[in-house]
Every structure is written in C-alpha cells, then in structure tokens.
Amino acid sequence: MLFDFTYYNPTKIYFGKNSLDNLSGELANYGKNVLLVYGKASVKKNGIYDKVMTVLESAGKNVTELSGIKSNPTYTQMLEGARLVRENDIDLILAVGGGSVIDCSKGISAAAYCEGDPWEKYWINEEPVTHKVVPVGSVLTMAGTGSEMNGGSVITNEEKMLKKGRVFGTNLYPKFSVLNPEFTYTVPKYQMASGIFDIFSHLMEQYFSGEDDNTSDYLIEGVMESLVNSARTAMKDPQNYEARSNIMWCATVALNTITGVSKSQDWEVHMIEHQVGAYTDCAHGAGLAVVSVPYYKYIYKYGLDRFVRFAKKIWEVDISSMSKEDAALAGIDALAEFIKEIELPSTLRELGTTEEMLPKIANSTALGGGYKQLSVKDVLEILKTAY
C-alpha cells in the first residue's frame, strides 16, 4: 500500500558526454567565491580538474581549494572545509569527485554557519538545518552513492570511531550535478564494481521491506534489472558507453528517492557496513557485498514472499517446482554469484577485519532492520558468518 509521502527533488541534472558544457551557465547563478572540493590525485591525472578549472577561470571565479577528501570523508576534513567557507565568504561549493566528495561538501555547507557542535546537532540528533547554507554543485566522477541528487551525507568521525549517515533536507541537495559517464572511465575496475554493488544495495535496502505490492517495488526491479545487465557488460568492456551511462543513471535514480516513496525500507546492511568501514576503511560497496549475503540469509524467513519474487524477477530463477524457502535461498545464492561475477570479496577477512574487531563493530552498529528488528547479538552472528 502507498502510505502518505512527500516527494520533492529540486536538483538539476546535466547528463551525457557534453554535460560539462552546462557548468559555465550554472556558475553564472552564483557569486565569485568558489570552494573547489576534490579527492586524491586522480582528478588531476585524468584531466577533469583542468577542465573544471578552465571553466571556473573563464567565469572569473576566485577559487579556494580543499583537496585530499578521503573515500570515507572525515569529520576533521569537513570542519576544515567549513572554516574555508567562512574565511573566504564562499558563494558556491563545487564538489568534483564521487559520493565521498559530495557528501563532505554537504557537510561543509551545513557546518559552516552552525552555532554549536555540528556533529552533535546534525549527525547525532539529526536536527534540520535552518540557518544559512552555501549552495553545493557537483561534477560526478564515480557512479555509486547517488549523493549527486539527494541529501545524504556520510561522515566518519575518526575520534569517535563512528561512520554516520545523515539525510539532509532539500536545502542541502546539490543545486545541480554534471554527470558525464566518460568521467568514470578511469575509475579502477575494483572501484567500479564497488560502486555497482553500492547501487544494488541501495535498491535492496528499499525493496526488502514489509509493505504490500506497490509501484515503488516495480520501479526498483526495473533499475535492478538494468543495473545487472549493464554491470555484466561493463565488467567485460569497461569503456562501453552504453553500459557505463546506464550504471551512472541507475546510481542516481536508485537514490534520488523516487524508487523509495512509500517504502518503510531497511538500511541495516548499510548500518553494519558503516561500522566495518569505520574499522577497516574498506571500499563502501565491497563492505556491502560482504555483509549482504549473510544478512539476507539471516532474515529472509521474515519476508519470504519478497525474497521469492526477487529470485524470480531479478535472477530469473525457475521457481515453478521449488518450495518458497528454496526459491528464496536460490535468489540469495544468485546474488552471491553476482558478487563473484563483479569480482568483489565475500569475507570480512579480505577487507582487513580482524576477529577482535567483530564485537566492537557489532556494539557500535546502529540497530534497525526491515523484516526483522536486529539486536547486537544478531549483528554479531551475521558478522561471524561474514568473517
């Protein structure tokens, strides 16, 4: 059943090979002072930094730079960005990178004019941001998180050993995002696969929740099918534009909230992974891949029909002569097979987790769940199976 919801997503997307051509027009909407946020050396090596800088210079902008944003962006980096915003009277934060860089940029925007402790207010207490924020725009270089068209901001507080996501309101959505699939070509294969699984996990987190049949379920299945299809092509031929453009757009659609309306959703795989990530700094999608199969094997009995539907519709398992139980498990096995196919790990050990970390991870995981509400003990069981 479709329960009451509000849907509003005012981010403007420019998609395609020539999408960067729209940047100068967008820049005209903002003042002179731009904070350029990016990650490691890769955007300099692949030429994207130079392309963006050329546009910024032609537009006569004063550019302040914040570089070195980590794949799990840290609270310290975020506070440093907030300081730069204040000191340079920044008019626009331009994120050039993947979800980490965009997540960090939203955090910078929220923190810059915050009175009090942003971590407590915005990540722990999840207060709405009502003071002045600085507009964020993005040039995306990696497909996965969907941060280019939503309010999500996952930040790692190193001091507290906590990786915590916050979904901000539309005032912190990127005003615009430039999505050129060719900009993702230089992403290493492992990172590409990690992004693909991040997208797939976003879809599963929405799909595996308790409502009856609704339109969102069908939309999710559509995106899942398209993603699996294009992932297979991209693994064989990473520079296949059709596949890479579909993957990029799947990432956006999977988490711009259109597929999730009126779904209570789960997100426990993400909660567990966040703490695996806090302890190991692993690639987010790889962490999700490791956690997913043990998690779904642990909870599938509580949402049996939906797991049967998953097997039939997404993996085309011939379930005609199977029990529901077997059909559901066959679907999860097909998921495990897909993880192998895109060459991601299947154990926590491969991510650098040690046995001593397991209880610490379990104890610090935010408890929730979809078909089944989890306890610390449940999480520990799942981690042990995943180990």
Residues interacting with a copy of itself, by CB under 8 A?
A: 1-19, 22, 181, 212-215, 217-223, 225-227, 229-230, 241-242, 245-246, 249-250, 253, 258, 261-262
Beta bridge partners, 297, equal: none
Closest separation between CB of residue 215 and a copy of itself, Å?
4
Give how far the C-alpha of residue 253 lies from the chain's centroid of Cα atoms, to the nearest Å.
Answer: 12
Nearer to a copy of itself, 179 or 348 (CB): 179
Closest separation between CB of residue 69 and a copy of itself, Å?
26
Give how far the C-alpha of residue 323 lies from the chain's centroid of Cα atoms, to the nearest Å.
Answer: 35
Nearer to a copy of itself, 257 or 365 (CB): 257
- What is the Cα–Cα distance from 146 to 149, expressed in whole angstroms? 6
Task: Name the phi and psi angles at 174, rounded to 5.
Answer: -55, 140
Q: Give every CB contact of residue 311 below 8 A, 6+ residues apart in sequence.
A: 317, 319, 327, 328, 330, 331, 332, 334
Nearer to a copy of itself, 145 or 280 (CB): 145
Rounded alpha-carbon distances, angstroms, from residue 353 to 58, 281, 282, 290, 387: 47, 10, 9, 11, 8
Nearer to a copy of itself, 160 or 175 (CB): 175
Give how far the C-alpha of residue 160 lies from the chain's centroid of Cα atoms, to the nearest Å.
Answer: 22
Nearer to a copy of itself, 225 or 343 (CB): 225
Nearer to a copy of itself, 20 or 348 (CB): 20
How many angstroms separate the first and last alpha carbons of the chain?
A: 38
Closest separation between CB of residue 383 and a copy of itself, Å?
34
Closest separation between CB of residue 345 and a copy of itself, Å?
27
The answer to whether residues 73 and 107 touch, using CB atoms and an 8 Å cutoff, is yes
Q: Give every CB contact of residue 292 below 8 A, 6+ residues apart in sequence.
A: 201, 204, 269, 335, 339
> Which amino acid is present at 313?
K
Beta bridge partners, 63, equal: 34
Closest separation between CB of residue 238 and a copy of itself, Å?
16
Burial of 5 (0-12, 13-18, 19+ CB in 10 A): exposed
The answer to whether residues 74 and 158 touch, using CB atoms and an 8 Å cutoff, is yes
Closest separation between CB of residue 318 and a copy of itself, Å?
13
- What is the Cα–Cα distance from 241 to 283, expressed in whole angstroms? 24
Closest separation between CB of residue 297 and a copy of itself, Å?
27
Nearer to a copy of itself, 212 or 356 (CB): 212
Nearer to a copy of itself, 118 or 146 (CB): 146
Closest separation between CB of residue 202 and a copy of itself, Å?
14
- What is the Cα–Cα distance from 117 to 138, expressed in whole angstroms? 26
Nearer to a copy of itself, 80 or 225 (CB): 225
Instruction: Supply the DSSP string of 26-49, one letter for each residue.
Output: HHTTS-SEEEEEE-STHHHHTSHH
Nearer to a copy of itself, 91 or 148 (CB): 148
Closest separation between CB of residue 115 and a copy of itself, Å?
27
Reported as half-sphere exposure (CB side, CA atoms, 13 A), residue 86 has a value of: 12
Tokens describing residue 265: 């959703």
Closest separation between CB of residue 253 and a copy of itself, Å?
7
